[in-house]
Structure 1
Amino acid sequence: MIKYLDLQKINASFEPALSDALLRVSRSGWYLHGEATARFEQEFADFCGTAHCIGTGNGLDALTLIFLAYRELGVMNAGDEVIVPANTYIATILSILHAGLKPVLCEPLPETCNIDVIHAETLITQRTRAILPVHLYGRLADMQGVYDLAARYGLKIVEDAAQAHGAIYDKVLPGKEKQLLRAGNLSDAAAFSFYPAKNLGALGDGGAITTHDTSLAAIVRFIANYGSTEKYVHLYQGINSRLDELQAAVLSVKLPRLDKDNVRRREIAQLYKENIHWKYPKLQCTVSTEDIKESNVFHIFPVFSPRRDELQHYLTAHNIHSQIHYPIPPHRQKALIQEYGMQQLPITEHIHNEELSLPISPLLTNEEVGQVIDCINSFV
């Protein structure tokens, strides 16, 4: 079986450093708010190029905390609107709702599956306070377009970078000239997830916020620790969302190899793009050859087909595991259907009906990639 993602194999490739790091934390007797977390926060801030990094319990909390902090700072109020891609994992939308704000769903561009900035402008009202681009599948959104839109209407930009660890923007953004711009440093604040399957994954849940905003960073830290500014002193109605020492230690071991692993993901994407028989009309790809660059870290390699389910079954029958990201769009989920189910979002629904993710682990061999390609070509 060629697994979609062999986490056991990936984690084994970091040994013995991984076990040594876990053992150090275990023996230290300090498991929260300790040296391992502080070290990783500094390392990840330096990696992203931001002034601050705050570890959180998971990626959903990271996004939610940003919006809660903006509410405490008076930048946003209950019921204010945030424009968000309709084509995303439901957590992106839940974060806005959990902060007492209103998600406004925006269709994606069919060519990229990321937010359509032109459509987003038609959704702006007097209550719009932010735009939330998602770097879906590991591909950076049109941040130049997002910047221009935010500047025209005075909006905050919040990145959902949960799938884009290490992605590098290749254009110049206002006020950030001559900088190496990575995901997490393309906005007012950004949220990451370190779910085990991510390009930078922990051994359990974990997340982080990156920002240059010192006031926002301070409020986020307080809210994430029960709203406490010092022990037993609570100025805010906070939550409990902290990156623990064990996960931070794991992430510090893995971070130095992230860029190398992302290079390998792009190599695999190149092999798929060059060798799969895309000429068949029943199989499509939103990745062009010029897209295979540092602005896409290929957390996922998506293909699209109206025969998606047949293709997945065919791959499985030939011992190749694939996944669907995602089978049901957020506005069709029972949790959101009462408010959003009547919306007509045909591009989003088309993507969710046809998307299939091929194996793209950085530890895949060229021989294994070749088996995937041959199997797809024999199907089409």
Structure 2
Amino acid sequence: MDTAARWIGRGEALERLGIKTQTLYAYVSRGRIAARPDPANPRRSLYAVDDIGRLTSRRSEADAGMPADLQLLTTPAVRGVVTIASSVSVIAGGRLLYRGRDAVDLAQTETIEDVARLLWDARSENPFAGLGPRLDGAGGVNARTRLFGALGRRAHEDRSSAGRDATSLKVEAASVLNEVMDAVAGPGPRLYFHQQLGRGWKLLERDSPLICRAVVLAADIGSCPSAVATRVSAAGGASLAGAALAGLVATAGSTEQADLIAAIAHVHEARRDPAGVSKRRAAEGTLPGFSDPLWPDGDPRGPALLAASALPADLAAVAREGEAASGRTPTLNLALALLARRLDLPRDAAADLMLIGRLVGLLGHALDQVIDGSPIQASLRYVGPRPTAQ
């Protein structure tokens, strides 16, 4: 088979698999099907024939006629895939839902603490009540070092989550998040988390609600490798901090984070020539921040955050010209990168905001797994070289 024949367009891929578009994008995001830009049209993607063949040979007919949203929740198992039940979040109907509530709506009205309580199913109690600063806070040269330092220390100190009651676990989750926020933002008076972060970054008080919106929108993303890593660790008996640390490490090395880093670089470059840089990158198929396989119809979080950000003309032009060049609306990644520039935060602060937000959701996954999750049954099957005769 020649190189061109090994890649096919979306329509043919959907026909061969017998699925809907959103399910195809979910397979791509989970690494089940490789995708690459179409050389003839960078706005479109091509999909690996070999990967599609492996999936079609293993798929059942259980999804026939099922709505795409339900397919994402009930996709038949394939080699290397373990299905894990979650009640934390899901993408459905083009919206991101946190325990059934629209994340975009929540970001407009709720604090980080409020959304944490929602994701942790702690709305009838307040696990943050009475928490204070830790005197020997974690140090580090930048926010990310302090974040991972504080979380790693708690992973070492805290006991196993196995067999513990839900109330004490939720208080522990709040304590972990509180300590991490203190480490990232630095010591100071007891404020809402977004106010602490704003104070640590020396923002005007009127701008700190934008930090809240960004963190809330980044808190979770439904099914992703970092959530799986967290849940597997929690099911194995790790502490809440240890399970969340496993997921956060996966997040830091994910394609999502890589796209965010690329979006940060794009904003810095395109700010000087928004139209020219955006057109060139789109033609090369390297324009970040305008495409995400989880959002075939556009990421609603990006426009929502940008609408509240009051960008200056040069930054607004980066979003506008990129949308014109790609034919797609900005994702949350681009919105985070633009917001960080608008607030004059450190260069990588957009990536730090993503990790801070995701920690909230990962603690929710750890709690959900320990309190209500079913055992995760998975095993490794050795396929390496056979032992040689002695």
Q: Same fold (TM over 0.5)?
A: no
Q: Which of the pair has the greater relative contact order for Cα pairs under 8 Å at 6+ separation?
A: 1
TM-score normalised to structure 2 length: 0.27
Q: Larger radius of gyration, structure 1 or 2?
A: 2
Q: Which has the higher helix share?
A: 2
Q: Which has the higher strand share?
A: 1
TM-score normalised to structure 1 length: 0.27
